[in-house]
Structure 1
Amino acid sequence: MGIQHPKYKVAVVQAAPVWLDLDATVDKTIALIEEAAAHGAKLIAFPETFIPGYPWYIWLDSPAWAIGRGFVQRYFDNSLSYDSPQADKLRAAVKRAGLTAVLGLSERDGGSLYIAQWIVGPDGETIAKRRKLRPTHAERTVYGEGDGSDLAVFDRPDVGRLGALCCWEHLQPLSKYAMYAQNEQVHVAAWPSFSLYDPFAPALGWEVNNAASRVYAVEGSCFVLGPCATVSQAMIDEMCDSDSKHALLKAGGGHATIFGPDGSMLAEKLPPDQEGLLYAEIDLGMIGIAKNAADPAGHYSRPDVTRLLLNRKPARRVEHFALPVDSEPAEIEPAVAS
């Protein structure tokens, strides 16, 4: 009798946040979790910084303009702390739904913000809190960075070996290889939206970045869930206060996707301005067939030619220590002139 490989339904989010409104966006996140559970999904994936939304203002004008308009303060105040009532509310909702959620958020920790993905299991317990290793370009005016411990894959009995990265982390070959080498089976590739600088910056557009998700699926021989936010008209109305800004950012931009380990598209895309959930049935048995052809960190690798060095140690800004009582420095006898 053949081995029964796990099969289950996944849900991928394409929606706009209630921009810079933490409580309202948490409520919208919970509604999407409940909708996915009602449709039988065992895993739901959210876009990059869905809570409280992506800070598009950093690409539209100067930092002084953003501060003067109040965006900087509001973004900090509406970012999500791990030990907060809103975070507790999210974890309780995931537990009620009985699924695994990969949340996308701006994480507030002390006086700093981070592009984060929290993986919460069906028991409501946190499986992982990862941070984007290096914020991209203008994002570095808002966020701090993660470390090598954030390149991790988690073996879960309900969904398989699960990992996640954000946005242009999918253009970092070494970071991708660190994930492939952990035999990742299901990967969440979280994106913010694709309507910035369109059409004169193809590298920021949907075709290039959907392709990055698709290549990840084929390279890693894994399923890739590509949640993607939309830009709402309300966001445009608030940020775009001139004709030049309207030319830089447009409403819509949603291009959520789901790919199989052979690069096949497993769900029909929604229109770029439409909110909703993409669903797909995934069969982890497909991975063995894909890796039979090319296992990037296994039989298709050449470690005698190229290898990856990976530092998984968490970065600590402060190391606390205390000297033992018996290690007080001894008195030094003064030198005597001869």
Structure 2
Amino acid sequence: MVDYTGTFRAAVVQAEPVWLNADATIDKSIALIEEAAGAGAQLIAFPETFIPGYPWWLWLDSPAAGFAFLGRYHENSITLDGPRFERLTAAACANAITVVAGYSERSGGSLYMGQALISAQGALVHARRKLKPTHVERTVFGEGDGSDLVVHRTPLGRVGALCCWEHLQPLTKYALFSQHEQVHVAAWPSFSVYRGAAHALGPEVNTAASQMYAVEGQVFVLAPCATVGDAAIEMFCDTPVKEQLLQRGGGFARIFGPDGRSLAEPLSEDAEGILYADIDLSAIALAKAAADPVGHYARPDVTRLLLDTTPRRPVEDSAVDFVESPEPQSSVEAMTAED
């Protein structure tokens, strides 16, 4: 049963992280959580890998050159059972606000592009990993699996999340639409790399991707987006060429309604702040009356999605209890038993 009633205030972050410093970025995240809760928001959404910042060096030089950053990035990536993540859950609880965090997750020796849905009571509802890191991201991050394509029922509605160019994957989007998603967090890093040379990476295309997600799925889309400031340029750009490749600004946070309408006045691309919008779930029913992609507007006799949400882990424990075998029978005894 899907309930299309209820209202709440949503908050979307546009800010620069404290680059490669998890603790300081968590301090900043908590301040933003407190600010949003103070403004009456019941949900706040953060950009992709906001903790400890998006690894922009990947787009600026060779993989070998990135080794200078990798150790520090690994150390400042967070674990879900560690004290850094506990600070986020405690902040959600203390401020009675649902948080959708974006971070680099460290699991053993591997890193993943993670998002976590944290309840207003400070409980981890779900943690997901980007299903397929994009292009050069694959030199640092591992992949998620089908268990990461899940929409969760919360007191605010049915909430799902994806990162960046997952919004250009039609089947991935349809997997969430099929679970009657109502509120979607579309997390982005910033639209500031290769500007003027790679249109597909720019704000026009990617803002449109967030907007089209809202229209295609008839969902509210909260699209947080980080910014690139002087601190990022100083850290990642040690040559004039790199300063041309990575530009300041790039913040294009947005909030869209289920009809694609913009619900919040955008900030300038170099400004930090929070966008707010009042979400009324009843608007979804009206939007779906025209075109529900997994309901009356679908043609399952022609096209269908095969979705496997089984977790795929490198090690599966297949140990079984040892059962002692009976003593072997002689051939005569065996024939007698059969008779």
Alpha carbons of 1:4 and 1:297: their partners in 2 closer, same or farther (altered >3 Å)? closer
Q: Describe the superposition over 1:113-152 as per-residue Cα deviations: whole angstroms up to 9, x where unpaired.
A: 0000010001100011001000000000010000001001
- Return the alpha-carbon distance in structure 1 between the equivalents of residues 247 and 326 of structure 2: 66
Output the amino acid matched with 2:45. Answer: A
Q: Pick from 224, 233, 238: which aligns with 2:235? A: 238
* 1:242-257 correspondence runs (5 A): 242-257=239-254
SS at 1:293's partner residue?
coil
Q: Pick from 82, 102, 105: which aligns with 1:104? A: 102
Unaligned runs of 5+ in 1: 334-338
Unaligned runs of 5+ in 2: 331-339
Whether 1:304 aligns to 2:285 is no
Whether 1:168 aligns to 2:162 is no
Alpha carbons of 1:326 and 1:286: their partners in 2 closer, same or farther (altered >3 Å)? same
Partner of residue 17, structure 2: 17
Q: Describe the superposition over 1:94-120 as per-residue Cα deviations: whole angstroms up to 9, x where unpaired.
A: 100101000000000110000000100
Whether 1:273 aligns to 2:270 is yes
Whether 1:197 aligns to 2:194 is yes
TM-score, structure 2 normalization = 0.94
Partner of residue 149, structure 1: 147
* 1:57-206 correspondence runs (5 A): 57-67=57-67, 70-157=68-155, 159-206=156-203
Output the amino acid matched with 1:179. Answer: L
8 Å contact 2:4–2:281 — kept in the other structure? no
- Return the alpha-carbon distance in structure 1 between the equivalents of residues 82 and 24 of structure 2: 15
Partner of residue 41, structure 1: 41
TM-aligned CA deviation for residue 323 of structure 1: 3.9
Output the amino acid matched with 2:247. Answer: K
TM-aligned CA deviation for residue 250 of structure 1: 0.9
- Return the alpha-carbon distance in structure 2 between the equivalents of residues 267 and 149 of structure 1: 32
TM-score, structure 1 normalization = 0.95
Partner of residue 318, structure 2: 321
Equivalences, count: 328
Alpha carbons of 1:329 and 1:162: their partners in 2 closer, same or farther (altered >3 Å)? farther
8 Å contact 2:13–2:225 — kept in the other structure? yes
TM-aligned CA deviation for residue 5 of structure 1: 2.4
Partner of residue 336, structure 1: none
SS at 2:162's partner residue?
strand
Alpha carbons of 1:172 and 1:327: their partners in 2 closer, same or farther (altered >3 Å)? farther
SS at 1:65's partner residue?
coil
- Return the alpha-carbon distance in structure 1 between the equivalents of residues 177 and 236 of structure 2: 39
- Return the alpha-carbon distance in structure 2 between the equivalents of residues 280 and 21 of structure 1: 30
Output the amino acid matched with 2:228. Answer: V
- Return the alpha-carbon distance in structure 2 between the equivalents of residues 198 and 4 of structure 1: 40
- Return the alpha-carbon distance in structure 1 between the equivalents of residues 231 and 298 of structure 2: 49
Partner of residue 218, structure 1: 215
- Return the alpha-carbon distance in structure 1 between the equivalents of residues 29 and 238 of structure 2: 28
- Return the alpha-carbon distance in structure 2 between the equivalents of residues 108 and 323 of structure 1: 31
- Return the alpha-carbon distance in structure 1 between the equivalents of residues 319 and 264 of structure 2: 57
SS at 1:105's partner residue?
strand
SS at 2:226's partner residue?
coil
Alpha carbons of 1:327 and 1:59: their partners in 2 closer, same or farther (altered >3 Å)? farther
Q: How many percent identity over aligned positions? A: 60
TM-aligned CA deviation for residue 78 of structure 1: 0.4
- Return the alpha-carbon distance in structure 2 between the equivalents of residues 119 and 184 of structure 1: 14
8 Å contact 2:4–2:284 — kept in the other structure? no
TM-aligned CA deviation for residue 332 of structure 1: 11
- Return the alpha-carbon distance in structure 2 between the equivalents of residues 84 and 132 of structure 1: 20
Q: Describe the superposition over 1:39-60 as per-residue Cα deviations: whole angstroms up to 9, x where unpaired.
A: 0000000000000000000110
Output the amino acid matched with 2:37. Answer: A
Q: Describe the superposition over 1:251-274 as per-residue Cα deviations: whole angstroms up to 9, x where unpaired.
A: 110000000000000001100000
Partner of residue 335, structure 2: none
Output the amino acid matched with 1:37. Answer: A
Alpha carbons of 1:173 and 1:332: their partners in 2 closer, same or farther (altered >3 Å)? farther
- Return the alpha-carbon distance in structure 1 between the equivalents of residues 101 and 148 of structure 2: 15
Structural RMSD (CA) = 1.6
Q: Describe the superposition over 1:134-184 as per-residue Cα deviations: whole angstroms up to 9, x where unpaired.
A: 000000001000000100101112x10000000000000000000001010
SS at 2:66's partner residue?
helix
- Return the alpha-carbon distance in structure 2 between the equivalents of residues 25 and 328 of structure 1: 59
